[in-house]
């Protein structure tokens, strides 16, 4: 026991010596995030394993399990933690990769070994979270080694070792029966117990008795990896937010009633004071409720910064990693979900995007130091996250050749450039020649697209060979708040995202020219922009003649502008975007709805859709 303690302290000291001090707090934060994330991955992995137990050929579950291992391995690679975890995940991944390719059936011993690895990863994770990056105990380490040996055997030569493994398991089973009478340490092992597998459980059983981790814990407990957030059921939170919204509306109605009532309120100071108090509380509540789900991208982006720095060191490249818009706020769900894809993309940009050596860059007439920009911003009610590099760009011919070679498409397939670029999102596609722990297994972009699509977002590639590529993730906002310009057309109120608005002007005296009497063009600052009649383009019935008092709202989305004529501008306001639900998802030009202060619904316009409609596509 003593030796363990010393060993651990020594390791701890070593780590401290190597670390720059300012990094430490950051590392802890990062480690906490890593642990939460990996635990989630493991949870998912357990579920997929259950599926695979009955259907070893289930490709979806196999892919998902593989990805889980891959993500854990990838993340662990960047942490200053004991490498056992990474190695174990890597070996499990190797076996799973064989299963995916159909060279191995995930049953019998292979299945059990993978199952054990997953359970073991959980044990290792817990050990790490308890001792902030510490080394696992010898028991755990030796158990890991056994599992890894088994995995490698399975990977490299079929199942001829079954007899021996069975024997091992028999003996391990024996230990379980011995130990299982002690309820203390089985109490918190439910998840693993459900699938109690011999060696792992046996080791676990040993752990608490001799546990160097728990013992040495006391000495290190000053900085445990604590999670200070509180997990709340999502539905409850949504309900709370909705109810507060109702409260605000009810409150403003009460205020209005009080003001319009005939009695002079100044005669009732008590009532007046109470109303003011009510008003203050509801406003604060509303602000709070709106911010409950929103978190800045900062932590995710900083993590990317770290990922980029570590990767640069690993592949010895010099790259300027620039972060823009890290304060862009995003729904918590998005921030959680976007981490994985972003990490893959940042790695891709540095590992594949930027040229292998400064000499190549200089020869191509570029600065020796590469540049990767990670940028987030709102555009017309969507959130955009861009990863831009000034590297070599994507080679369309090479992607095509590789896709054909990997039989992702037919030999004679005729694809457009964009379609070819999209091939990199296919499962199993990778142009990297070597499998490393950074990239090359072809899971990266597959995960990226899957995760982003799960958020109902899209991902675009812009690339120019020799000049670099830019990946843009575009996501709709579910519960995000935008600043909106409230306008009236006929009797209907619309919300135009303020970010898209470039200017407001009166129709009177503006230069309008018509083309074949049907299309109107407005000249704004020497630029011709199409004039959009909202009532016409949105198919509203009131199509009165344009009143001369109309106001022109000039909107811009990307490089395109349009002028929208509205009857009146009612003001500017923060609104919460809500989806209109299943039935109305397909309405073009409509991005969602917002509940206005009077309790009615205002329609949020989708400027992108309107402009593309105005441009006739």
Partner 1 sequence: MSSTVLENESKTTGQARKEERLGGKYLTFRLGKEQFGLEILKVREIMGWVNVTPVPKAPPSVRGVINLRGKIIPVIDLRRKFEMEQVPNTDRTCIIVVDVDVKGQSADVGILVDNVSEVLSIRSEDIGPPPSLGCEMDSSFILGMAKSPNTVTILLAIENVLSDSELEPIPAQSSLSETPSES
Q: CB 155 → partner 1: shortest distance, Å? A: 40
Query: In the set 102, 187, 269, 559, which binds partner 1 (CB under 8 A)?
Result: 559
Rounded CA gap, 192 and 145, in Å?
Answer: 19
Binding mask 357-396 for partner 1 (x = CB under 8 A): -------------------------x--------------
Residues 6+ away with beta carbon under 8 Å from 575: 481, 482, 484, 495, 594, 595, 596, 602, 604
Query: In the set 298, 306, 474, 533, which binds partner 1 (CB under 8 A)?
Result: 474
Query: Are the C-beta atoms of residues 250 and 256 closer than 8 Å to each other?
Result: no
Q: How far is CA 555 from the centre of its chain?
A: 29
Nearer to partner 1 by Cβ, of 42 and 562: the residue is 562
Query: In the set 122, 476, 484, 530, which binds partner 1 (CB under 8 A)?
Result: 476
Rounded CA gap, 254 and 250, in Å?
Answer: 6
Q: Which neighbouring-strand residues pair with 461?
A: 471
Strand order across the beta sheet in which 481-489 lies: 568-576, 481-489, 492-497, 601-605, 590-595
Rounded CA gap, 441 and 600, in Å?
Answer: 52
Stretch near partner 1 under the rule CB under 8 A, chosen from 47-55, 62-70, 525-533, 575-583: 575-583
Using rule CB under 8 A, residue 254 touches partner 1: no
Q: CB 600 → partner 1: shortest distance, Å? A: 5
Stretch near partner 1 under the rule CB under 8 A, chosen from 180-188, 505-513, 561-569, 608-616: 608-616
The token pair at 140 is 């755990």
Stretch near partner 1 under the rule CB under 8 A, chosen from 355-363, 442-450, 564-572, 580-588: 580-588
Nearer to partner 1 by Cβ, of 134 and 589: the residue is 589
Nearer to partner 1 by Cβ, of 131 and 565: the residue is 565
Q: CB 48 → partner 1: shortest distance, Å? A: 21
Query: In the set 456, 464, 506, 549, which binds partner 1 (CB under 8 A)?
Result: 456
Q: CB 252 → partner 1: shortest distance, Å? A: 14
Using rule CB under 8 A, residue 616 touches partner 1: no
Query: In the set 89, 578, 614, 616, which binds partner 1 (CB under 8 A)?
Result: 578
Listed residue (2, 5, 16, 1) closest to 216, CA to CA: 5
Q: CB 177 → partner 1: shortest distance, Å? A: 45
Rounded CA gap, 152 and 158, in Å?
Answer: 10
Nearer to partner 1 by Cβ, of 339 and 593: the residue is 593
Query: In the set 145, 280, 464, 588, which binds partner 1 (CB under 8 A)?
Result: 588
Stretch near partner 1 under the rule CB under 8 A, chosen from 22-30, 308-316, 351-359, 572-580: 572-580
Residues in the chain: 617
Residues 6+ away with beta carbon under 8 Å from 154: 95, 104, 109, 110, 113
The token pair at 334 is 């998005």
Q: CB 539 → partner 1: shortest distance, Å? A: 6
Listed residue (130, 75, 115) closest to 303, CA to CA: 75
The token pair at 339 is 């981490």
User: Following DSSP, what letter does each residue of 306-353 receive, concatenated?
Assistant: HHHHHHHHHHT--EEEEEE-TT-EEEHHHHHHHHHHHHHHHHHIIIII
DSSP code of 211?
A: -
Q: CB 174 → partner 1: shortest distance, Å? A: 48
Nearer to partner 1 by Cβ, of 156 and 456: the residue is 456
Using rule CB under 8 A, residue 241 touches partner 1: yes
Q: CB 569 → partner 1: shortest distance, Å? A: 18
Binding mask 75-114 for partner 1 (x = CB under 8 A): ----------------------------------------
Using rule CB under 8 A, residue 460 touches partner 1: yes
Using rule CB under 8 A, residue 451 touches partner 1: no
Q: Which of residues 284-323 bind partner 1 (CB under 8 A)?
A: none
Using rule CB under 8 A, residue 599 touches partner 1: yes
Using rule CB under 8 A, residue 488 touches partner 1: no
Query: Are the C-beta atoms of residues 393 and 467 closer than 8 Å to each other?
Result: yes
Three-state DSSP class for residue 463: strand
Query: In the set 149, 246, 359, 419, which binds partner 1 (CB under 8 A)?
Result: 246
Using rule CB under 8 A, residue 269 touches partner 1: no
The token pair at 106 is 């995930």
Count residues contacting partner 1 (CB under 8 A)? Answer: 46
Rounded CA gap, 143 and 134, in Å?
Answer: 17
Using rule CB under 8 A, residue 245 touches partner 1: yes
Nearer to partner 1 by Cβ, of 294 and 512: the residue is 294
Q: CB 286 → partner 1: shortest distance, Å? A: 12
Consecutive H or E run containing 199: helix 198-210
Stretch near partner 1 under the rule CB under 8 A, chosen from 146-154, 184-192, 199-207, 601-609: 601-609
Nearer to partner 1 by Cβ, of 415 and 587: the residue is 587
Query: In the set 22, 183, 581, 616, which binds partner 1 (CB under 8 A)?
Result: 581
Nearer to partner 1 by Cβ, of 240 and 435: the residue is 240
Residue 312: how many other CB atoms lie within 10 Å: 19
Stretch near partner 1 under the rule CB under 8 A, chosen from 135-143, 243-251, 266-274, 388-396: 243-251
Q: Which of residues 509-548 bind partner 1 (CB under 8 A)?
A: 538-540
Q: How far is CA 380 from the centre of its chain?
A: 20
Q: CB 263 → partner 1: shortest distance, Å? A: 29
Residue 208: how many other CB atoms lie within 10 Å: 16
Using alpha carbons, list the distances in angstroms from residue 318 to 322, 355, 391, 401. 13, 10, 12, 30
Rounded CA gap, 565 and 554, in Å?
Answer: 9
Consecutive H or E run containing 485: strand 481-489
Rounded CA gap, 260 and 272, in Å?
Answer: 13
Residues 6+ away with beta carbon under 8 Å from 552: 504, 505, 506, 507, 510, 522, 531, 563, 564, 565
Query: Are the C-beta atoms of residues 193 and 201 closer than 8 Å to each other?
Result: yes
- Contact positions toward partner 1, by CB under 8 A? 241-243, 245-246, 382, 456-458, 460, 462, 474, 476, 492-493, 538-540, 558-559, 578-591, 593, 595, 599-603, 606, 608-609, 612, 617
């Amino acid at each position: 026991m003593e030796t363990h303690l010393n060993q651990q302290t020594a390791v701890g000291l070593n780590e401290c010596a190597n670390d720059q001090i300012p990094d430490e707090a950051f590392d802890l934060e990062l480690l906490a995030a890593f642990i939460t994330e990996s635990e989630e991955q493991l949870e998912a992995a357990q579920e997929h394993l259950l599926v695979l137990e009955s259907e070893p050929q289930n490709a979806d579950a196999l892919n998902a399990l593989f990805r889980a291992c891959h993500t854990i391995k990838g993340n662990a690679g960047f942490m200053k933690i004991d490498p056992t975890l990474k190695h174990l995940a890597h070996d499990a991944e190797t076996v799973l990769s064989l299963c995916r390719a159909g060279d191995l059936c995930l049953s019998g011993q292979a299945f059990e070994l993978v199952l054990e690895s997953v359970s073991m990863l959980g044990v290792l994770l817990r050990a790490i979270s308890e001792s902030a990056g510490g080394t696992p105990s010898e028991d755990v380490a030796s158990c890991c080694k056994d599992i890894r040996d088994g995995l490698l055997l399975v990977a490299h030569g079929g199942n001829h070792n079954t007899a021996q493994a069975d024997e091992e398991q028999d003996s391990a089973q024996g230990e379980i029966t011995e130990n299982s009478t002690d309820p203390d340490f089985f109490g918190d092992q439910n998840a693993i117990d459900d699938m109690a597998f011999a060696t792992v459980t046996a080791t676990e059983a040993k752990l608490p008795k001799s546990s160097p981790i728990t013992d040495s814990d006391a000495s290190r407990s000053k900085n445990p990896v604590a999670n200070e957030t509180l997990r709340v059921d999502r539905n409850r939170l949504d309900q709370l937010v909705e109810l507060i919204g109702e409260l605000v509306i009810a409150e403003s109605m009460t205020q209005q009633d009080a003001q319009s009532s005939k009695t002079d309120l100044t005669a009732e100071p008590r009532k007046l004071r109470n109303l003011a108090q009510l008003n203050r509380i509801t406003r604060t509540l509303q602000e709070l409720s709106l911010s409950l789900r929103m978190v800045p991208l900062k932590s995710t982006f900083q993590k990317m910064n770290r990922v980029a720095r570590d990767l640069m060191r690993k592949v010895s490249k010099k790259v300027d990693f620039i972060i823009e818009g890290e304060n862009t706020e995003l729904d918590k769900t998005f921030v959680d979900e976007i981490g994985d894809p972003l990490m893959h993309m940042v790695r891709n940009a540095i590992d594949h995007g930027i040229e292998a050596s400064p000499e190549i860059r200089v020869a191509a007439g570029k600065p020796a130091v590469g540049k990767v920009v990670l940028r987030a911003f709102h555009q017309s009610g969507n959130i955009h996250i861009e990863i831009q590099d000034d590297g070599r760009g994507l080679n369309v011919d090479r992607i095509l050749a590789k896709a054909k070679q990997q039989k992702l498409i037919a030999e004679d397939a005729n694809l457009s450039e964009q379609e070819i670029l999209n091939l990199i999102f296919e499962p199993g596609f990778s142009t990297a020649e070597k499998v490393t722990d950074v990239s090359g297994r072809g899971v990266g972009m597959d995960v990226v697209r899957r995760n982003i699509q799960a958020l109902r977002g899209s991902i675009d590639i812009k690339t120019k060979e020799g000049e670099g590529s830019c990946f843009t993730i575009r996501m709709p906002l579910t519960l995000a708040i935008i600043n909106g310009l409230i306008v009236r057309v006929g009797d209907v109120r619309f919300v135009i995202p303020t970010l898209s608005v470039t200017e407001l002007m009166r129709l009177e005296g503006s230069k309008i020219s018509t083309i074949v009497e049907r299309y109107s063009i407005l000249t704004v600052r020497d630029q011709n922009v199409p004039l959009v009649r909202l009532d016409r383009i949105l198919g509203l019935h009131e199509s009165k003649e344009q009143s001369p008092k109309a106001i022109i709202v000039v909107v811009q989305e990307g490089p395109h502008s349009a002028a929208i004529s509205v009857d009146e501008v009612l003001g500017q306001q923060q609104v919460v975007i809500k989806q209109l639900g299943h039935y109305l998802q397909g309405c073009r030009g409509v991005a969602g709805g917002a509940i206005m202060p009077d309790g009615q619904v205002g329609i949020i316009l989708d400027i992108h859709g309107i402009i593309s409609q105005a441009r006739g596509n």
